[in-house]
A = this chain, B = another copy of it.
Amino acid sequence: MAPALLDRAETQRRLEPLLARAEGADLVVLPELCATGYAFAGREEAWAGAEEVGDSRFLEFLAGRCAAHGFDVVTGFAERHGDLLGNAAVLVGAEGPVASYRKLHLFHREKLYFEPGDLGVPVIERRGMRVAMLVCFDWAFPEVWRLAALGGADLVCHPANLVLHGYAQRAVPVHAQINGYFVVTANRVGRERQLEFTGMSLIAGPRGEILAQAPDHGDHVEVVQIDLARARDKQVTPNNDLLGDRRPECYGGLTSPVEPTR
């Protein structure tokens, strides 16, 4: 869907019927920065739209929808924390916000107003599911997709506002496959200032298969049933396990701050 830039009331008006169509689901995933829109002119606009997780009319609205329809929601969220701004994903239930992630890898102009994430890659147990959250450009960093798997994630919720055509939509199913879990990439559509968003939201399964894919424009709601047992069985052959076969003693270079050769 397309949030309305800096118009929370209009965004909520758009969301309400879409969320009603997801009744029966356990978990709904919305796009990145769903509460505010994306294309801020600068830090002032971002700050004006942002809210604190513990004091947010947008998250209260979602909690109400959760209560009404019986699901939880993961939403993108411009987050004030102290004097800082984060590009967050928040898991909300009927009782309010349950858990947060702050985008570790910021894209382009986001660096002008958001702080890079400082909460790692949490995995939250919820309704028997183990859920991780990543946001948009995180798609290009295989490290965080692996950290989600090592944290036991069955499912990665991936709110996005993708502007590059097809890259993430091709990479995400491979992240799902090599980590053996489900991924929901909820990408926004529409145009905002100079930016055009690419839609093509998708749900991928543990073999990298596409379980659902939205078109590149227009609202789209799709409910897919998943079998968590498939994400917990990492066996590839009788002798191979996607995570058990890792060689962490050989991976030290991944945590070194050394600059690559140029």
For A99, the chain B residues whose CB sits under 8 A away are none
Q: Which of these, B106, B107, B108, B178, contacts A142 with CB under 8 Å?
A: B178
Closest chain-B Cβ to A35's Cβ sits at a distance in Å of: 23
For A147, the chain B residues whose CB sits under 8 A away are 250-251, 253-254
Number of residues of chain A lying within 8 A (CB) of chain B: 63
For A262, the chain B residues whose CB sits under 8 A away are 152, 232
Identical subunits present: 2
Closest chain-B Cβ to A117's Cβ sits at a distance in Å of: 8
Interchain CB contact under 8 A, B255 and A248? yes
Interchain CB contact under 8 A, A248 and B256? yes
Query: Residues of A at under 8 Å CB distance from B?
Result: 104-109, 111, 116-117, 120-121, 123, 130, 137, 140-147, 149-152, 167, 170-171, 173-174, 177-178, 207-208, 232, 234, 236-240, 242-262
Q: Kindly list the 10 A-B residue pairs having the minimum CB-CB distance in the complex, ordered from nearest.
A: A152-B261, A142-B142, A174-B174, A108-B237, A171-B174, A143-B251, A243-B260, A251-B255, A108-B239, A248-B255
